[in-house]
Structure 1
Amino acid sequence: MSFIGCLITWPVLFPIAATGGGGETGIDILSFSNVNGVGRYFAFAIMSWVFLGFAMFLISRETILFVNLRQAYLLSPYSVSRISSRTVLFVDVPEYYRNEKHIREMMRNVNTVWLTHDPEDLADKVDDQIDAIQKLEKAETKLIAGSLKQHAKKQNKNKNEGTDGPTEDDIRAMKRPTHRLKPLIGKKVDTIDWARRELHDLATTISRDQHEFRQSGAKESAIFVEFETVAAAQIAFQQVIHQQPLHFTAKEIGMTPDMVNWDNVTLPWWNVKLKTALGTAFMAFLCLFWTIPVAFVGVLTNVNYLTDTLPWLSFINSIPQQIMGVVTGLLPVLLLAILMKLVPIIGTAIANTFEPTQKAVQMRVQSWYFAFEVIQVFLITTFTSGASAVVSQVIQDPLGAPQLLAKNLPKASTFYICYFILFGLATAAMQILNIMPLLFCMILGKVLDKTPRKKYNRSGLLDGIKWAVFYPKYTNLGVIALAYSCIAPLVLGFATVGFTLLYLAFRYNVIYTLGTTVDTRGEAYARALQQLTVGIYLSEFCLIGLFAIGVGDNRLSLGPLILEIILFVATILYHMQFRKAMGKLVVSLPGDLLAEETRNKHGDGELEKGDTPRHGRNLDVQRPATGSESSDTTVFQVPQSAAPPPKQSGIAGKVKEFFFPSTYASAAVLSKHVLSPHLARPVRTFTQSEREEAYMHPALRTDGAVVWIARDEYGLSWKEVQESRRVIGEGVNVTNQGARFDEKGSVALEEGYVAPASVNGSRRITGGYDLY
């Protein structure tokens, strides 16, 4: 978008501005502020029609392409075979319907129903168990490592005499790890003995409480319902379930169990509404509060202009130009980055108090953070940068303030030219070098990560992208580029360079080194596309203001003003209609695709007697083995009313795909030519326990807790494993597989080993939730 913007605006607006006779110097001669002749305003108005119209088309085109790709992905065999694709979360469920029988009577094609519970005391016990496991792992590692290091010293001292390895007696002779039951004043206990006894008691208690709670625990106001087909799930998600408003609301579809905020799903609707309003009000207040430090950053960009009015700042004039360049260019950008780091942290903490899932948290924070970025990083900085440049003239002639600010507003583009280049270079370098992960892994990891679990979490798991933080920063850059595109078009060139650097850096990392901690099913990207239109509106609004000011001097400005107002109104009308047409397609699947959903009941790929082939049937799809449950052997294929056109090639083909994505990049085309080779195989068949416990509260799941200790060559860890198993008993597995002590007594993970459990927590080490 920025590159094409350069091709559109530069050949016309650069000559118009450069010869505008406004008396500007430097790069300001290429901006609107150097235009003195009102007749030249027509060029800016016409270019805004051309470029901003192209920008709106491109946003619309990308939205259509995204919707098609999302539909193809969500209806691929891989996606629909996951339980989450057919599961809907309902909140504020009336008490009468907190019963599986009543749910099945009201809804059709129901496969599994999970009624939610709030096992608060049991959850506390599970947390205590996790704490005891971590203490035991740390203490065992410290004890064994100490014994091995002591033995190594003994070997070095007696090089000429053979020494046997450390024995169990040597371990007992070592100083045992201890801790206090309460900080500072608590009784000091042997950590290993205490943790074993604690795990023994907790394992018995947790197992008993889980059984009792699952049998007679109170049912809460949220339920998870898995349907037999994606079509049935989508129908339930899109329809109104209950006659009373705000009751039995279909809140979300497609969330995996680990994305559920269990403390929030049972909150009553009024509680959620109240917290949402308070959270939004606080973030609005934060926007105003942050104006003070951000305004200071904006003033720094033109601080040398203040010396005319504030004589006590005259020492600034004696500062060397090199240092002044750093103060007005580099320093503001760095200060702004630090201030912005705190905002999403605060927003996430607030959203986590009421949103039912992590996806909802990300979507909420994305909206808050984007608004904050536009207001603080762009609008406040632009206004203060322009105001500081003319503050002395405003004091002398207050009535001329609007004209002076409008004339000097384009000068703030200098800040964003620096911002694009520095942000692009710094971010690209940080992404390519991965300095922070490297420091954490190579330095802090060696200091802090002593147990196999901590080492695995540090080095074995991909760092995830937080969409709520990721998108707003770069969307705001796009907004800035669009807003200045027809006022100071030179910004588009630097935006092109900045975005190119960011693209090259993120392309590699997103594909190979970054994971996804929260799956928004593409909705965060769709929202980011729509947020880009803010830049179009701001650009048109600013031009209307600039043309309106010119009307006071010359009525000839009325022509460009009218043109710009017409464009502004047309943009609003078009955008409203487009959002209305595409709104539901961004979050839901359409009925025509769902109606063509093909279900293979026998897993053999053959049609039943009397059935007729349906369009879109892909008999080449690899199907799961027979014998599994019917809902797991379902094959879903994106249909088509006619054979989709072949994948386009060559320049002409690329042009067709670009201008006609609904035809040449439809869901059927993308499914057949892009996704099918990669997503044709469903996930493995679920076990009975995986199905029954998928959306149970984590404290009620029966996955055994695991203690993970590293193995050593002398068998010390194996003896500790046996003793721990003897004392703890059933309910907690103790293992020393997958990690070992090296000759220096440090823990090292075995290469290629996949941990037997999801070590994000101590309770579940296996499988993880990716399967769902």
Structure 2
Amino acid sequence: MESFDPTRTLLLAARQASGSSSASASSSGSSDTKQGSSSVSAFLSTLIPIFVIACIIFGLFLFFQKKYDRVYGPRTFLQTLDKDEYSPKQSPGAFGWTKEFRELADEFVLGHSSLENYLFLRYFKTLVVISFVGCLITWPVLFPVNATGNAPNTSGFDILSFAHISDGARYWAHSLIGVIFFSFVMFVITREMLYYCYMRQAYLLSPYNSSKMSSKTVLFTDVPVEYRNVGAMEHIFPNAKYIWIAADPEDLEEHVKERDQASVKLEGAEMKLIGNYVKKQIKANKKNRGDSEDGRLREQESGSFDIAPKERPTHKLKPLIGKKVDTIDWSRGELHRLIPEVAREQAEKRDPKSNKLAAVFIEFDTIRDAQAAYQQVAHQTPFHMTPRDFGMPPEQVIWSNLNQPWWQRKMWSAFGTAFATFLCIFWTIPIAFAGIITNINYITDKVPFLAWIQDIPPQILGIVTGLIPVVLVAVMMALVPIFLSLVARQFLPTMPAVQAKVQRWYFPFQVVQVFLVTTFTSAATSVVTNIIDDPTSAPALLATNLPKASNFYIVYFVLNGLIAASLQFLNIVPLLFALFLGKILDTTPKKMYNRYVTLGGLGWGAFYPKMTLLGVIALSYSIIAPLVLGFATVGFALMYLGFRYNVLFTLGTTVDTKGDCYARALKQLITGLYISEICLIGLFAIGSAGNGLVSLGPLIIMIIMLIATVIWNMELSNALDKHSRILPCDLLADEYRDEDTEDVAEKGGATNGHSKKLGSATSTGLYQLPNSADPPAPPSGLVGKIKSFIFPTKFASAAVLSRYILSPFLTQPVRPYTEKEREEAYLHPALTAEVPIIWLARDPHGLSRREVGACRREIGEGIEVTDEEAWFNEQGRVEWDKTHPQKAPVWEDAPEY
């Protein structure tokens, strides 16, 4: 389950707080100061209620935090986690958690959670550093320059922005400070890209990760028919260790789905039957207390229960028009038919002679061999036997897409890109409409048919201009990543690839719709009457009012910093499930167990673009309205604290991209530099038209800066693109093996569609980073941290990070795989899917035991039905032993692939 993200609902909430006041600055065209921007008063009137709401939300967090450990601290006790994954137990008291929160370093997340979660926190810290240093660079110079300007119709926050400048000679300050700040941002992004490459190398080559089967496994797609056999693949890849040729499940996959659905129906119906009977008996016992125990004994002895046929669960085979059947009897009959049928088909599909998909998984002896195979051209025909992915665990494979031909995959990719582009254009209409609604009362004097709006009572008008746009934008923005994810899932072979594609598609949409459209529509709406009166003044008016639009983003950062951060602490979605949604939706012990033991995670493809957009906004306004950087610093810092709590104590990782989304987010952050530089070039150009040659120098400087940014961006990509995807050979050269556990190399025939060539189920191929010369320890103290920041190649290399930063947990390999786990690792799930266990809750009347026996008799062999480890309490509610989840019938010690 994804963490709740409220930022999209805050977009126009901020606009109604700031947009109306900034719009009034120029709507009348009067030069009177009274008509100027009232941004300070608007900000203060917004800050107070927002602060109060944030305090209430945080107060709710403090109230519920100790009552619901599963919501606010599952990583401190959840028994399904390894002991190395635990976070320290939180200290008692309302603020006791702050002790562990302060003491734990972010690097703790590397060994106890994941690289993904660590880099996500680091991304916020990077944004905080950029914004804070930006304040130190811009404020001492640009605040005095802007404040002493003499542009008319400016007041409040606007006097600290470019809008207060009318003298072209002052542009020199903006251009030179812009060069300094933009250069710093370029350095930080370069530094973080280097750090990411080094951290990725150290993390993936740690014994923990390099001992995983997936670290040495490559997925090939579009495999020609003649190569879909073990012998042919061994001929091409003689150093292959295991080969899994994906079997074509054909009808088996649908039959497994039908079997599992029948199991779910049976389990739900049995629980409904037992639960209703228990509640009925509780009511009867309250009326006849003396006879209750005797009646219970008679029921248990006779095995008969007073259940009318109409009290048994029923359902229709087809919606609305289907035949109504007894759910329990129908489900038992379906399972009786499907269980042996599925077992027979699974045995047939595991035969090496069965039909195969155009996909092959190959595990190699070493990571070096796997990387070599991943980078080589495997077939003479283009787009055939393509190495599609490397290092993906089997649970993140989208099996339905493995058999797609290359041309169909490319068509889907082109369609997805066109669809995302279409959304960027089409969504402009409703988003712009929502932006116009926020300032609708300022254009009624020039649009006669809207004059009736002025007659609307202020309270209702406030709802129209405030609530309706917020709801509209929230719904529209919520649908976009869902649409994009659905398209990506149609052709990409793995979940990390889906997240990466969604991130690529969704970020441009965020920039265009959430930033550019709302910014320019706000600026245009506020001066629309002036433009109608004098169309030739449009460029100058928009240039003047564009910096004033920063007032909206000042409020936006306050909203994100206070409301979004406090909601992260509250962890509202899991809390709602703990309070009442879980009681409604989780009606069986299995559903309760699954929700209890499963840690939620973030959807990186949809989440990173939203955070990156905030960074882009801060960079875009860094020079023309530097005050935004201050509020951005506070906003990012507060959001960092909120997400940090969840990463330390509540979140897991659902999709592992190995930090790929973090690297892409850093590259996408460069968009803010381009927007800022282009805006400055435009403002300088407009200013030079009215100020003569005095503005030409700043204009030339900014054009040169833009060209330098483009060149730097290209060189950065060329230099680090491969390093961010491929592990370097010098680090792979010092591979070692544990000779005690490495079997003698042997060649053998193929079984079950895969081949074992080298090693055994306990084989390990662990890596040790080059350590002949001890790497320097990261320097301590403030000066030391500055040195580490400036010289990442020396103090943040892979060897340094491996030795001094990575948790000792990562120095231990994963447990050895059993022979069965290795054989079935990359087989199609339909071939290995076991019959789901029917887990009922035991009742005091013996009805559950009767149903367990009836299920076993009518379904036959091949299914496990039990009512152990779950029970109905005295109030008729289902409970299970949460203190020992390993005792649950559905518990399994799954391997880490």
Which residue matches 1:479? Answer: 616
Q: Are the structure 2 counterparts of residues 73 and 730 from structure 1 closer, same or farther at C-alpha, using a change threshold of 3 Å?
A: farther
1:269-324 alpha-carbon deviations (Å, 9 max, x no partner): 10011111111111111111110111123334544542453355567678899998
User: Which is further off, 150-159 or 338-347?
Assistant: 150-159
Q: Is the 8 A contact 1:329 1:415 kept in 2?
A: no
1:21 maps to which of 127, 147, 150:
150
Q: How far apart, in 2, do the equivalents of 1:326 and 1:196 lie?
A: 55
Q: Is the 8 A contact 1:483 1:538 kept in 2?
A: yes
Which residue matches 2:172? Answer: 42
Q: Are the structure 2 counterparts of residues 230 and 173 from structure 1 closer, same or farther at C-alpha, using a change threshold of 3 Å?
A: same
Which residue matches 2:693? Answer: 555
Q: Are the structure 2 counterparts of residues 84 and 572 from structure 1 closer, same or farther at C-alpha, using a change threshold of 3 Å?
A: same
DSSP 3-state at the match of 2:838: strand
Aligned residue type for 2:828: H
The Cα shift of 1:327 comes to: 7.0
Q: Is the 8 A contact 2:741 2:763 kept in 1?
A: no
2:486 maps to which of 349, 352, 355:
349
Q: How far apart, in 2, do the equivalents of 1:677 and 1:151 lie?
A: 56
Which residue matches 2:536? Answer: 399
Aligned residue type for 1:101: G
1:579 maps to which of 717, 721, 745:
717
Q: Is the 8 A contact 1:738 1:754 kept in 2?
A: no
Q: Are the structure 2 counterparts of residues 676 and 425 from structure 1 closer, same or farther at C-alpha, using a change threshold of 3 Å?
A: closer
Aligned residue type for 2:134: G
Q: Is the 8 A contact 2:761 2:818 kept in 1?
A: no
Which residue matches 1:610? Answer: none
How do residues 311-322 of structure 1 correspond to structure 2 at under 5 angstroms?
313=450
The Cα shift of 1:334 comes to: 5.4
Q: How far apart, in 2, do the equivalents of 1:263 and 1:433 lie?
A: 38
Q: How far apart, in 1, do the equivalents of 2:480 and 2:220 lie?
A: 31
Q: How far apart, in 2, do the equivalents of 1:496 and 1:324 lie?
A: 34
Q: Are the structure 2 counterparts of residues 421 and 548 from structure 1 closer, same or farther at C-alpha, using a change threshold of 3 Å?
A: same
2:809 maps to which of 644, 668, 678:
678
DSSP 3-state at the match of 1:159: coil
Q: How far apart, in 2, do the equivalents of 1:674 and 1:748 lie?
A: 42
Which residue matches 1:8? Answer: 137
2:325 maps to which of 189, 203, 214:
189
Q: Are the structure 2 counterparts of residues 329 and 179 from structure 1 closer, same or farther at C-alpha, using a change threshold of 3 Å?
A: closer
Q: Is the 8 A contact 1:601 1:633 kept in 2?
A: no
How do residues 536-685 of structure 1 correspond to structure 2 at under 5 angstroms?
536-553=673-690, 554-603=692-741, 629=760, 632-640=763-771, 642-685=773-816
**Residue 808 (structure 2) pairs with residue 710 (structure 1):** no
**Residue 339 (structure 2) pairs with residue 210 (structure 1):** no
**Residue 896 (structure 2) pairs with residue 771 (structure 1):** yes
Q: How far apart, in 2, do the equivalents of 1:727 and 1:442 lie?
A: 38
Which residue matches 2:385? Answer: 248
**Residue 430 (structure 2) pairs with residue 293 (structure 1):** yes
2:206 maps to which of 51, 71, 76:
76
Aligned residue type for 1:742: N
- Between 1 and 2, higher relative CO (CA 8 Å, sep ≥ 6) is seen in 2
DSSP 3-state at the match of 1:226: strand
Which residue matches 2:225? Answer: 95
Q: Is the 8 A contact 2:215 2:367 kept in 1?
A: yes
Q: Is the 8 A contact 1:108 1:232 kept in 2?
A: no
Which residue matches 1:272? Answer: 409
Which residue matches 2:832? Answer: 701
Q: Is the 8 A contact 1:599 1:634 kept in 2?
A: yes
- Which runs of no fewer than 5 residues in structure 2 stay unpaired? 1-129, 743-758
1:148-205 alpha-carbon deviations (Å, 9 max, x no partner): 2233233322324561434231266673323333334433333222222221221111
Aligned residue type for 1:46: L
Q: Are the structure 2 counterparts of residues 259 and 334 from structure 1 closer, same or farther at C-alpha, using a change threshold of 3 Å?
A: same
Q: Is the 8 A contact 1:89 1:223 kept in 2?
A: yes
Which residue matches 1:615? Answer: none
The Cα shift of 1:93 comes to: 1.1
**Residue 878 (structure 2) pairs with residue 744 (structure 1):** no
Q: How far apart, in 1, do the equivalents of 2:539 and 2:825 lie?
A: 61
Q: How far apart, in 1, do the equivalents of 2:704 and 2:579 lie?
A: 59
DSSP 3-state at the match of 2:305: helix
1:312-342 alpha-carbon deviations (Å, 9 max, x no partner): 5567678899998887777655543332111
Which residue matches 1:126? Answer: 256
Q: Are the structure 2 counterparts of residues 132 and 31 from structure 1 closer, same or farther at C-alpha, using a change threshold of 3 Å?
A: same
Which residue matches 1:170? Answer: 305
Q: Is the 8 A contact 2:383 2:406 kept in 1?
A: yes
The Cα shift of 1:458 comes to: 3.0
Which residue matches 1:614? Answer: none
Q: Are the structure 2 counterparts of residues 22 and 342 from structure 1 closer, same or farther at C-alpha, using a change threshold of 3 Å?
A: same
The Cα shift of 1:380 comes to: 0.8
Q: How far apart, in 2, do the equivalents of 1:401 and 1:186 lie?
A: 64
Aligned residue type for 1:79: N
User: Which is further off, 585-594 or 153-162?
Assistant: 153-162
Q: How far apart, in 1, do the equivalents of 2:889 and 2:706 lie?
A: 53
Q: How far apart, in 1, do the equivalents of 2:471 and 2:185 lie?
A: 30
Which residue matches 2:854? Answer: 723
Q: Are the structure 2 counterparts of residues 209 and 30 from structure 1 closer, same or farther at C-alpha, using a change threshold of 3 Å?
A: same
Q: How far apart, in 1, do the equivalents of 2:285 and 2:761 lie?
A: 63
Q: Is the 8 A contact 2:198 2:801 kept in 1?
A: yes
DSSP 3-state at the match of 2:251: helix
Aligned residue type for 2:837: V
DSSP 3-state at the match of 1:113: strand
Q: Is the 8 A contact 1:143 1:171 kept in 2?
A: no
Q: How far apart, in 2, do the equivalents of 1:512 and 1:354 lie?
A: 35
Aligned residue type for 2:494: T
Which residue matches 1:138? Answer: 268
The Cα shift of 1:758 comes to: 11
Q: Are the structure 2 counterparts of residues 284 and 90 from structure 1 closer, same or farther at C-alpha, using a change threshold of 3 Å?
A: same
Q: Is the 8 A contact 1:603 1:634 kept in 2?
A: no
- Which runs of no fewer than 5 residues in structure 1 stay unpaired? 605-627, 760-764
Aligned residue type for 1:750: D
DSSP 3-state at the match of 1:116: strand
Q: How far apart, in 2, do the equivalents of 1:187 and 1:318 lie?
A: 57
DSSP 3-state at the match of 2:722: helix
The Cα shift of 1:211 comes to: 1.1
1:590-646 alpha-carbon deviations (Å, 9 max, x no partner): 111111222222149xxxxxxxxxxxxxxxxxxxxxxx9376333222224521112
Q: Are the structure 2 counterparts of residues 758 and 475 from structure 1 closer, same or farther at C-alpha, using a change threshold of 3 Å?
A: farther
**Residue 490 (structure 2) pairs with residue 362 (structure 1):** no
Q: How far apart, in 1, do the equivalents of 2:441 and 2:277 lie?
A: 66
**Residue 192 (structure 2) pairs with residue 62 (structure 1):** yes
Q: How far apart, in 2, do the equivalents of 1:481 and 1:314 lie?
A: 37
DSSP 3-state at the match of 2:671: helix
1:464 maps to which of 601, 616, 619:
601
Q: How far apart, in 1, do the equivalents of 2:526 and 2:431 lie?
A: 16
DSSP 3-state at the match of 1:585: coil
Q: Are the structure 2 counterparts of residues 20 and 305 from structure 1 closer, same or farther at C-alpha, using a change threshold of 3 Å?
A: farther
Q: Is the 8 A contact 1:369 1:469 kept in 2?
A: yes
Q: Are the structure 2 counterparts of residues 424 and 632 from structure 1 closer, same or farther at C-alpha, using a change threshold of 3 Å?
A: farther
How do residues 493-572 of structure 1 correspond to structure 2 at under 5 angstroms?
493-553=630-690, 554-572=692-710
Q: How far apart, in 2, do the equivalents of 1:631 and 1:592 lie?
A: 27
Aligned residue type for 2:150: G
Q: How far apart, in 1, do the equivalents of 2:726 and 2:466 lie?
A: 46
Q: Is the 8 A contact 2:277 2:307 kept in 1?
A: no
Aligned residue type for 1:659: I
**Residue 618 (structure 2) pairs with residue 492 (structure 1):** no
User: Which is further off, 709-718 or 556-565?
Assistant: 709-718
Q: How far apart, in 2, do the equivalents of 1:640 and 1:720 lie?
A: 63
User: Which is further off, 418-427 or 91-100?
Assistant: 418-427
